[in-house]
A = this chain, B = another copy of it.
Amino acid sequence: MSTTVKLEQKVQAKGHEIAAELRAMFQKKGIYVVNLIGSPGSGKTTLLEGLASRIKGRAAVIEGDLATDEDKKRIEAAGMRAYQINTVGSCHLDAAMIRDALKEFSIEGIDLLFIENVGNLVCPASFEIGEDIKVAVVSVTEGDDKPAKYPKAMKVSSAFVVTKVDLLPYLKCDVARMKRDVQAAMPGIACFTTSATTGEGLDAFLAWIDARAKERSAESV
C-alpha cells in the first residue's frame, strides 16, 4: 500500500470519527438529518423551497456551495433558517465543515435538518457528514441515463427523488427507466417523482422521511 493511500485512509478515518460524533449528537437532540446529493441544477434547493411551507418551524437547512450565499437566501425567503458553507475549492462537504458550522448555527428546537451538499453527483457520495440518510436528487432534464451512469450515488442513498417532472412533456426522458436503473444499483431504495412547481410527490417524500425518523427514535429507545 502506498503512503498516499495510507494518508488518505487516515484522513477518511478522521472524517468517520467526526461524522459518528455528529450522528450521536443529532440523535440525542432528536434531530433527523438528510444529506441531499445531486448534480448542479438538479433541483435540490427548489425541492427544499417546495417543502418549506410543510416543515418551517421544525426544520433548518445547511447549504453547501463552492461560492455564493444565494441558496441560503432562497431558503430564508421560503421561511426556514439556513446556514451557508462555502467550500471554495472542495467538491463535497465533509464532517468537519458541518461540526464547524454548528458552532455558529443553532439547531435547537428543530427535529429535521437538511444538508444540501455541493452540486456534484460523484464526490459527495463518498463522504459521511453525520447524516441519517443520503437522498439522491436527479432531474428529468438531466436525462434518464443518469442513475446507470452514476451508480455510486444511488448505492449510498436511501431514497431517490426525481425532480422537475412538470417538464416531461417537453423532453425525451423515460422515468420508468431511471427507476429500474436505481433499483438495480440499490434494491429496495424508495423512489419519489416530484415537481416543486406543481407540488407533486412532496407530501409522499416528506411522509417517508418522517416515517424513517420515527423508526430511528423507536430503535434508539
Interchain residue pairs with CB less than 8 A apart (9): A4-B7, A4-B8, A65-B149, A67-B150, A70-B145, A91-B123, A119-B122, A120-B122, A141-B142
Count of chain A residues with Cβ under 8 Å from any Cβ of B?
36
Q: Which residue of B lies closest to A141 (CB)?
A: B141
In A61-102, the 8 Å CB interface with B consists of 65-68, 70, 89, 91
Query: Is A109 at the interface (CB under 8 A from chain B)?
Result: no
Q: Is the CB of B7 within 8 A of A149?
A: no
Which of A11, A70, A119, A170 is packed against the most chain B CB atoms within 10 Å?
A119
How many protomers of this protein does the assembly include? 2
Per-residue contact bits, chain A 110-133, to B (CB 8 Å; 1 contact, 0 not): 000000001111110000000000
Q: Is the CB of B119 within 8 A of A150?
A: yes
Query: Is A57 at the interface (CB under 8 A from chain B)?
Result: no
